[in-house]
């Protein structure tokens, strides 16, 4: 057979022989771009699957082999522990690859437990840069600080960064001294239930009807598809008022102030460091380094070292892809955005949060 040729559709054929006969082969498959791409994607998928499996195995190994507070290694010499409370005070978040991001609540509580048991630890400095957070988490950290002070007799300082508002101030109230950066915004003593949306008018405009089956008139209160009744507003307000009273009393106790005086300044407003000092909400205006120096001098700690403790657990995926810039999500239509907003707003946890400072 003469030299073979390949047609556009992958068919193999030869030149006519001496008798004018041309031979075709219809079964022969010739690799093309789509086939090569498919093969490459399969290989890539296998590689990713292997990485995921290894990541899961290693993460389990790390969990089993590390301490409750994330595997912190504490010095053998006297030291002051620096704990960072940055971002929203909540359970804690992680990025796409499982690396902790921002404030990690359980890790912080566990670390303070470790410090209580460590005789080499001589004090704690909370570096706070937070707009606040959940009522539950803020209160739990408050009690953990009180427990540390009661069991050890060691000092706890609040060193405020650019902001220590609402829940960020709440956790500062039991501290032996509060020192705020001169550019810090603090205060915002109050409680929010968030914004409860009423989409009933919008749904009516588009002819959308809803039915909510409940066991009582107030079981679905806050539902964004039904107008809120006066009774429901009073119920929500009672929840906020109780958490507010708790906040006010803690400030009065921690700052040795009259409760009524606290109420006059606790209308939710933000204060500058200078204003907060004049009102007795903080003890001093200064930098973090000055807060460290103050603790060492006041409690005669000499040249005691300061050790910054962080939850630095990083997953295998985080180590491999932590620097990868992920593409932004595609934009949504107006209707889709409204539906998503309605879904998000069906939950409205009560919080010590300064919405203006929330990022």
Q: What is the rounded distance in angstroms from the CA atom of residue 208 to the CA atom of residue 203?
A: 5
Strands of 87-173, DSSP E: 93-94, 100-101, 121-130, 132-134, 156-165
Cβ(106)–Cβ(140) below 8 Å: no
Cβ(190)–Cβ(212) below 8 Å: no
In the set 219, 233, 332, 343, the catalytic residue is 219
Q: What is the rounded distance in angstroms from the CA atom of residue 282 to the CA atom of residue 9?
A: 80
In the Cβ-directed half-sphere of 189, how many Cα atoms lie within 13 Å?
27
Strands of the chain, DSSP E: 4-6, 12-14, 24-25, 79-86, 93-94, 100-101, 121-130, 132-134, 156-165, 177-180, 185-187, 270-272, 284-285, 305-309, 351-353
Active site residue 219: yes
176 CB contacts (<8 Å, ≥6 apart)?
Answer: 149, 155, 156, 157
Structure tokens at 12: 């193999």
Please name the residue that has the structure tokens 């290694």: 73
User: Is residue 165 left, alpha or beta, with left meaning phi > 0 and alpha meaning psi from -120 to 50?
Assistant: beta
Indicate the burial class of 86 (C-beta count within 10 angstroms; 0-12, 13-18, 19 or more). Answer: middle
In the set 166, 172, 188, 315, the catalytic residue is 166
Active site residue 296: no
What residues pair up with 130 in beta bridges, in sequence order?
164
From the list 244, 235, 117, the residue with the least C-alpha distance to 192 is 244
Catalytic residues: 166, 219
């Amino acid at each position: 057979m003469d030299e073979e040729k390949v047609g556009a559709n992958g068919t193999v054929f030869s030149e006519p022989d001496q008798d004018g006969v041309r031979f075709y082969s219809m079964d022969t498959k010739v690799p093309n771009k789509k086939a090569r791409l498919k093969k490459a994607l399969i290989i890539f998928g296998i590689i990713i699957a292997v990485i995921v499996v290894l990541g899961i195995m290693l993460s389990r190994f790390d969990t089993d082999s590390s301490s409750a507070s994330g595997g912190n290694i504490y010095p053998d010499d006297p030291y002051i522990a620096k704990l960072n409370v940055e971002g929203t005070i909540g359970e804690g978040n992680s990025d796409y690859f499982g690396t902790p991001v921002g404030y990690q609540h359980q890790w912080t509580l566990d670390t303070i437990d470790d410090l209580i048991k460590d005789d080499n630890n001589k004090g704690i400095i909370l570096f706070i840069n937070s707009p606040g957070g959940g009522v539950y988490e803020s209160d739990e950290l408050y009690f953990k600080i009180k427990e540390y002070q009661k069991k050890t007799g060691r000092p706890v300082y609040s060193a405020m960064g650019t902001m220590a508002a609402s829940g960020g101030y709440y956790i500062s109230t039991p501290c032996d001294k509060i020192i705020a950066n001169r550019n810090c915004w603090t205060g915002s003593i109050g409680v929010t239930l968030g914004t409860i949306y009423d989409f009933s008018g919008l749904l009516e405009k588009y002819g959308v009807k809803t039915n909510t089956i409940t066991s009582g008139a107030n079981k679905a209160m806050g539902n964004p598809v039904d107008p809120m009744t006066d009774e429901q507003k009073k119920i929500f307000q009672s929840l906020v008022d109780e958490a507010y009273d708790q906040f006010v009393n803690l400030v009065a106790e921690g700052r040795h102030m009259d409760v009524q005086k606290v109420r006059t300044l606790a209308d939710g407003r933000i204060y500058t460091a200078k204003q907060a000092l004049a009102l007795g909400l903080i003890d001093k205006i200064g930098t973090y380094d000055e807060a460290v120096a103050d603790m060492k001098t006041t409690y005669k700690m000499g040249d005691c070292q300061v050790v910054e403790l962080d939850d630095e657990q990083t997953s295998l995926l985080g180590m491999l892809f932590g620097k990868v810039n992920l593409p932004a999500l595609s934009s949504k239509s107006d209707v889709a955005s409204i539906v998503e907003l309605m879904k998000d707003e069906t939950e409205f946890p009560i919080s010590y949060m300064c919405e203006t400072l929330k990022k």
